[in-house]
Protein backbone atom coordinates (compact mmCIF):
# COMPACT_ATOMS: atom_id res chain seq x y z
CA UNK A 1 0.00 0.00 0.00
CA UNK A 2 1.61 3.23 -1.18
CA UNK A 3 2.64 5.93 1.27
CA UNK A 4 2.54 3.59 4.30
CA UNK A 5 5.21 1.76 6.28
CA UNK A 6 4.84 -0.50 9.32
CA UNK A 7 7.58 -1.10 11.87
CA UNK A 8 8.07 -3.01 15.10
CA UNK A 9 11.13 -3.43 17.30
CA UNK A 10 9.96 -6.89 18.40
CA UNK A 11 10.36 -9.12 15.34
CA UNK A 12 9.36 -12.22 17.35
CA UNK A 13 5.87 -10.86 18.07
CA UNK A 14 3.36 -12.39 15.65
CA UNK A 15 0.79 -9.56 15.66
CA UNK A 16 2.82 -6.98 13.64
CA UNK A 17 3.78 -9.66 11.09
CA UNK A 18 0.16 -10.75 10.65
CA UNK A 19 -1.02 -7.13 10.32
CA UNK A 20 1.58 -6.36 7.64
CA UNK A 21 0.75 -9.57 5.74
CA UNK A 22 -2.98 -8.81 5.85
CA UNK A 23 -2.40 -5.31 4.46
CA UNK A 24 0.02 -6.62 1.85
CA UNK A 25 3.21 -4.82 2.90
CA UNK A 26 6.56 -5.94 4.29
CA UNK A 27 7.53 -5.01 7.83
CA UNK A 28 10.04 -2.17 7.66
CA UNK A 29 13.66 -2.65 8.66
CA UNK A 30 14.74 -1.21 11.99
CA UNK A 31 17.90 -1.80 14.01
CA UNK A 32 17.81 -2.14 17.79
CA UNK A 33 20.63 -2.39 20.31
CA UNK A 34 20.98 -2.65 24.05
CA UNK A 35 24.30 -1.37 25.41
CA UNK A 36 26.22 -2.74 28.40
CA UNK A 37 24.62 -0.18 30.73
CA UNK A 38 21.14 -1.23 29.46
CA UNK A 39 20.61 1.91 27.36
CA UNK A 40 18.57 1.16 24.24
CA UNK A 41 19.05 2.51 20.71
CA UNK A 42 16.82 2.46 17.60
CA UNK A 43 17.44 3.39 13.95
CA UNK A 44 15.37 3.03 10.77
CA UNK A 45 17.30 1.15 8.08
CA UNK A 46 15.15 2.49 5.23
CA UNK A 47 13.76 5.87 4.25
CA UNK A 48 10.49 7.02 5.81
CA UNK A 49 10.59 10.55 4.36
CA UNK A 50 7.08 11.65 3.42
CA UNK A 51 5.54 8.33 4.54
CA UNK A 52 2.73 7.59 6.97
CA UNK A 53 4.51 5.43 9.55
CA UNK A 54 2.72 2.95 11.81
CA UNK A 55 4.74 1.83 14.84
CA UNK A 56 3.32 -1.35 16.41
CA UNK A 57 5.03 -1.65 19.76
CA UNK A 58 4.59 -2.55 23.44
CA UNK A 59 4.87 0.10 26.14
CA UNK A 60 5.48 -2.21 29.11
CA UNK A 61 7.72 -2.81 30.92
CA UNK A 62 9.43 0.59 31.11
CA UNK A 63 12.23 -0.54 28.77
CA UNK A 64 9.68 -1.05 25.97
CA UNK A 65 8.21 2.38 26.60
CA UNK A 66 11.68 3.89 26.08
CA UNK A 67 12.12 1.90 22.84
CA UNK A 68 8.74 3.13 21.60
CA UNK A 69 9.68 6.75 22.32
CA UNK A 70 13.02 6.30 20.56
CA UNK A 71 11.30 4.81 17.48
CA UNK A 72 8.86 7.73 17.43
CA UNK A 73 11.64 10.30 17.78
CA UNK A 74 13.67 8.58 15.04
CA UNK A 75 10.65 8.72 12.69
CA UNK A 76 10.24 12.46 13.37
CA UNK A 77 13.93 13.11 12.66
CA UNK A 78 13.74 10.98 9.48
CA UNK A 79 10.99 13.28 8.12
CA UNK A 80 8.02 10.92 8.30
CA UNK A 81 4.84 12.67 7.13
CA UNK A 82 2.69 11.22 9.92
CA UNK A 83 3.39 8.88 12.84
CA UNK A 84 0.67 6.59 14.17
CA UNK A 85 1.69 4.76 17.34
CA UNK A 86 -0.15 1.46 17.73
CA UNK A 87 0.01 0.07 21.28
CA UNK A 88 -2.40 -2.90 21.28
CA UNK A 89 -2.20 -3.41 25.05
CA UNK A 90 -1.70 0.02 26.60
CA UNK A 91 0.11 -0.69 29.83
CA UNK A 92 -0.06 1.72 32.76
CA UNK A 93 -3.78 2.27 32.02
CA UNK A 94 -4.80 0.90 35.42
CA UNK A 95 -3.00 3.88 37.00
CA UNK A 96 -5.68 6.17 35.64
CA UNK A 97 -6.80 8.40 38.49
CA UNK A 98 -5.55 10.28 41.51
CA UNK A 99 -6.44 8.97 44.95
CA UNK A 100 -4.83 11.28 47.43
CA UNK A 101 -1.17 11.72 46.49
CA UNK A 102 -0.92 9.07 43.73
CA UNK A 103 0.76 9.63 40.39
CA UNK A 104 -1.46 9.32 37.29
CA UNK A 105 0.92 7.17 35.25
CA UNK A 106 -1.58 6.66 32.42
CA UNK A 107 -1.35 10.38 31.57
CA UNK A 108 2.43 10.51 32.02
CA UNK A 109 2.92 7.64 29.55
CA UNK A 110 0.43 9.01 27.00
CA UNK A 111 2.06 12.46 27.20
CA UNK A 112 5.53 10.96 26.74
CA UNK A 113 4.46 9.19 23.53
CA UNK A 114 2.87 12.36 22.16
CA UNK A 115 5.86 14.50 23.18
CA UNK A 116 8.17 12.08 21.34
CA UNK A 117 6.30 13.02 18.15
CA UNK A 118 3.24 10.77 17.73
CA UNK A 119 0.50 12.34 15.60
CA UNK A 120 -2.09 9.81 16.77
CA UNK A 121 -2.45 6.61 18.78
CA UNK A 122 -4.36 3.36 18.45
CA UNK A 123 -5.04 0.80 21.19
CA UNK A 124 -7.34 -2.13 21.83
CA UNK A 125 -9.76 -2.35 24.75
CA UNK A 126 -8.37 0.32 27.05
CA UNK A 127 -8.82 -0.44 30.74
CA UNK A 128 -9.99 3.15 31.18
CA UNK A 129 -12.14 4.04 28.11
CA UNK A 130 -11.86 7.76 28.82
CA UNK A 131 -8.07 7.65 28.38
CA UNK A 132 -8.14 9.28 24.90
CA UNK A 133 -9.37 12.45 26.62
CA UNK A 134 -6.02 12.69 28.46
CA UNK A 135 -4.18 13.91 25.36
CA UNK A 136 -4.85 16.50 22.64
CA UNK A 137 -4.21 14.06 19.78
CA UNK A 138 -6.51 11.51 18.07
CA UNK A 139 -6.56 8.15 19.84
CA UNK A 140 -8.49 5.34 18.14
CA UNK A 141 -9.95 2.82 20.58
CA UNK A 142 -10.75 -0.55 18.99
CA UNK A 143 -12.26 -3.70 20.46
CA UNK A 144 -11.75 -7.47 20.58
CA UNK A 145 -15.43 -8.32 21.16
CA UNK A 146 -15.91 -10.04 17.80
CA UNK A 147 -12.84 -12.22 18.35
CA UNK A 148 -14.27 -13.31 21.70
CA UNK A 149 -17.65 -13.93 20.06
CA UNK A 150 -15.95 -16.13 17.47
CA UNK A 151 -14.27 -18.22 20.18
CA UNK A 152 -17.43 -18.53 22.29
CA UNK A 153 -19.37 -19.69 19.23
CA UNK A 154 -16.85 -22.49 18.71
CA UNK A 155 -17.57 -23.79 22.21
CA UNK A 156 -21.07 -24.71 20.89
CA UNK A 157 -22.62 -24.49 24.37
CA UNK A 158 -25.58 -22.81 26.03
CA UNK A 159 -23.71 -20.31 28.19
CA UNK A 160 -24.34 -17.33 30.43
CA UNK A 161 -21.95 -14.43 29.78
CA UNK A 162 -20.58 -13.07 33.06
CA UNK A 163 -19.05 -9.65 33.69
CA UNK A 164 -16.71 -9.68 36.72
CA UNK A 165 -17.57 -6.05 37.54
CA UNK A 166 -19.45 -2.97 36.30
CA UNK A 167 -16.46 -1.88 34.19
CA UNK A 168 -16.87 -4.87 31.86
CA UNK A 169 -20.67 -4.84 31.89
CA UNK A 170 -21.11 -2.96 28.58
CA UNK A 171 -18.83 -5.30 26.64
CA UNK A 172 -20.29 -8.41 28.30
CA UNK A 173 -23.78 -7.16 27.44
CA UNK A 174 -22.72 -6.57 23.81
CA UNK A 175 -21.33 -10.12 23.55
CA UNK A 176 -24.41 -11.62 25.24
CA UNK A 177 -26.73 -9.73 22.86
CA UNK A 178 -24.81 -10.80 19.76
CA UNK A 179 -24.86 -14.44 20.89
CA UNK A 180 -28.41 -14.24 22.29
CA UNK A 181 -27.18 -15.54 25.65
CA UNK A 182 -28.15 -14.52 29.20
CA UNK A 183 -26.00 -12.01 31.10
CA UNK A 184 -24.85 -11.88 34.73
CA UNK A 185 -22.88 -9.12 36.47
CA UNK A 186 -20.90 -9.32 39.71
CA UNK A 187 -20.39 -6.41 42.09
CA UNK A 188 -16.99 -6.80 43.74
CA UNK A 189 -14.63 -4.97 46.05
CA UNK A 190 -10.88 -4.77 45.38
CA UNK A 191 -8.62 -3.91 48.34
CA UNK A 192 -5.43 -2.84 46.48
CA UNK A 193 -3.32 -3.08 43.29
CA UNK A 194 -2.63 -6.67 42.13
CA UNK A 195 -4.68 -8.00 45.06
CA UNK A 196 -7.57 -10.31 44.31
CA UNK A 197 -11.08 -9.26 45.25
CA UNK A 198 -12.04 -10.18 48.81
CA UNK A 199 -15.80 -9.83 48.65
CA UNK A 200 -18.61 -10.09 46.12
CA UNK A 201 -21.39 -7.82 47.31
CA UNK A 202 -24.14 -9.09 45.02
CA UNK A 203 -24.97 -10.70 41.69
CA UNK A 204 -27.26 -9.46 38.94
CA UNK A 205 -28.56 -12.39 36.90
CA UNK A 206 -28.54 -16.16 37.36
CA UNK A 207 -25.52 -18.47 37.47
CA UNK A 208 -26.80 -21.38 39.55
CA UNK A 209 -26.87 -24.56 37.46
CA UNK A 210 -25.49 -22.68 34.43
CA UNK A 211 -22.33 -23.04 32.30
CA UNK A 212 -20.55 -19.69 32.20
CA UNK A 213 -18.08 -17.67 30.17
CA UNK A 214 -16.40 -14.92 32.19
CA UNK A 215 -15.21 -12.00 30.03
CA UNK A 216 -12.62 -9.42 31.09
CA UNK A 217 -10.15 -6.95 29.62
CA UNK A 218 -6.92 -8.09 31.33
CA UNK A 219 -5.65 -11.23 33.02
CA UNK A 220 -2.48 -10.22 34.84
CA UNK A 221 -1.63 -12.28 37.93
CA UNK A 222 -4.94 -14.20 37.57
CA UNK A 223 -5.68 -13.70 41.26
CA UNK A 224 -8.96 -11.89 40.65
CA UNK A 225 -9.90 -14.36 37.91
CA UNK A 226 -9.48 -17.38 40.18
CA UNK A 227 -11.20 -15.73 43.15
CA UNK A 228 -14.15 -14.75 40.92
CA UNK A 229 -14.39 -18.32 39.64
CA UNK A 230 -14.42 -19.66 43.20
CA UNK A 231 -17.24 -17.23 44.00
CA UNK A 232 -19.20 -18.42 40.96
CA UNK A 233 -18.72 -22.04 42.02
CA UNK A 234 -20.08 -21.18 45.48
CA UNK A 235 -23.08 -19.58 43.74
CA UNK A 236 -23.80 -22.90 42.00
CA UNK A 237 -22.16 -22.47 38.58
CA UNK A 238 -21.25 -25.57 36.60
CA UNK A 239 -18.63 -25.44 33.81
CA UNK A 240 -16.67 -22.15 33.66
CA UNK A 241 -14.67 -20.67 30.77
CA UNK A 242 -12.88 -17.31 30.62
CA UNK A 243 -12.00 -14.89 27.81
CA UNK A 244 -9.84 -11.77 28.07
CA UNK A 245 -8.45 -9.33 25.53
CA UNK A 246 -5.03 -8.89 27.09
CA UNK A 247 -3.25 -11.98 28.40
CA UNK A 248 -0.48 -10.31 30.38
CA UNK A 249 -0.18 -13.45 32.54
CA UNK A 250 2.51 -12.29 34.93
CA UNK A 251 4.15 -14.97 37.06
CA UNK A 252 2.51 -17.09 38.55
CA UNK A 253 -0.72 -16.66 36.51
CA UNK A 254 -0.20 -19.81 34.44
CA UNK A 255 0.26 -21.93 37.56
CA UNK A 256 -2.91 -20.50 39.11
CA UNK A 257 -4.92 -21.19 35.96
CA UNK A 258 -3.62 -24.75 35.67
CA UNK A 259 -4.32 -25.45 39.34
CA UNK A 260 -7.93 -24.20 39.17
CA UNK A 261 -10.03 -27.31 38.50
CA UNK A 262 -13.21 -25.23 38.08
CA UNK A 263 -11.74 -23.31 35.14
CA UNK A 264 -11.94 -25.32 31.93
CA UNK A 265 -10.30 -23.06 29.34
CA UNK A 266 -9.02 -19.50 28.92
CA UNK A 267 -8.99 -17.45 25.71
CA UNK A 268 -6.58 -14.53 25.25
CA UNK A 269 -5.52 -12.54 22.18
CA UNK A 270 -2.09 -11.66 20.77
CA UNK A 271 -2.16 -8.00 21.86
CA UNK A 272 0.95 -9.01 23.84
CA UNK A 273 3.75 -11.30 22.62
CA UNK A 274 3.58 -15.04 23.24
CA UNK A 275 5.99 -16.09 26.00
CA UNK A 276 6.80 -19.42 27.70
CA UNK A 277 4.96 -18.33 30.84
CA UNK A 278 1.72 -18.15 28.78
CA UNK A 279 1.87 -21.66 27.32
CA UNK A 280 -0.60 -24.07 28.87
CA UNK A 281 -3.09 -26.68 27.69
CA UNK A 282 -5.79 -24.53 29.27
CA UNK A 283 -4.81 -21.30 27.49
CA UNK A 284 -5.86 -20.62 23.87
CA UNK A 285 -4.51 -17.64 21.99
CA UNK A 286 -6.35 -15.96 19.11
CA UNK A 287 -5.22 -13.25 16.73
CA UNK A 288 -6.74 -9.78 16.43
CA UNK A 289 -4.60 -8.84 13.41
CA UNK A 290 -7.58 -8.53 11.06
CA UNK A 291 -9.14 -5.85 13.26
CA UNK A 292 -5.89 -3.87 13.41
CA UNK A 293 -5.18 -4.33 9.71
CA UNK A 294 -8.63 -3.05 8.74
CA UNK A 295 -8.34 -0.11 11.14
CA UNK A 296 -4.91 0.81 9.74
CA UNK A 297 -6.19 0.59 6.16
CA UNK A 298 -9.10 2.87 7.07
CA UNK A 299 -6.81 5.41 8.74
CA UNK A 300 -4.58 5.43 5.66
CA UNK A 301 -7.62 5.89 3.38
CA UNK A 302 -9.16 8.51 5.73
CA UNK A 303 -12.06 6.12 6.45
CA UNK A 304 -14.21 5.62 9.55
CA UNK A 305 -13.04 3.48 12.48
CA UNK A 306 -16.41 3.77 14.22
CA UNK A 307 -18.18 2.14 11.28
CA UNK A 308 -15.70 -0.74 11.40
CA UNK A 309 -17.46 -2.09 14.49
CA UNK A 310 -20.96 -1.02 13.55
CA UNK A 311 -20.68 -3.14 10.41
CA UNK A 312 -19.75 -6.23 12.45
CA UNK A 313 -17.04 -7.26 10.00
CA UNK A 314 -15.43 -9.68 12.41
CA UNK A 315 -18.45 -11.57 13.69
At residue 42, the pLDDT reads 98
Q: Cα 164–167–171 angle (5° rounding)?
A: 85
At residue 3, the pLDDT reads 93
Please give the Cα distance from 34 to 27 (Å, whole number): 21
At residue 97, the pLDDT reads 74
CB 133 within 8 A of CB 104: no
At residue 192, the pLDDT reads 60
Tell me the DSSP string of 163-228. ESSGGGHHHHHHHHHHHT--EEEEEEE--STT----EEEEEES--TT-EEEEEEEEESSSHHHHHH
Q: How far apart are the first and last CA of the chain?
A: 26
* Known catalytic residue at 188: yes
Q: What residues of the chain score a pLDDT lower than 50?
A: 198, 313-315
At residue 217, the pLDDT reads 96
CB 183 within 8 A of CB 211: no
- What are the structural domains, with CATH classification, of the chain? 4-143+290-310 (3.40.50.2020), 145-286 (3.40.50.2020)
Q: Point out the catalytic residue in the list 5, 188, 254, 278.
A: 188
Bridge pairing between strands 30-34 and 40-44: antiparallel
At residue 1, the pLDDT reads 78
Please give the Cα distance from 146 to 150 (Å, whole number): 6
Amino acid sequence: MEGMKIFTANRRWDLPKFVANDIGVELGKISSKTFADQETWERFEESVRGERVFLIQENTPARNLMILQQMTDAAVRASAKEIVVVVPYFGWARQDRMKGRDCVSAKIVADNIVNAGADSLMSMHLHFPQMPSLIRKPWDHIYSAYCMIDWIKKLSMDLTVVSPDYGMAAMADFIANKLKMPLAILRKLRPDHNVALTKTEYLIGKVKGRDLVLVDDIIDTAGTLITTIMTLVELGAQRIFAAATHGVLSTPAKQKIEACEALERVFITNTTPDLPRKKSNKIERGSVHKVFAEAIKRIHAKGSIKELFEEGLFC
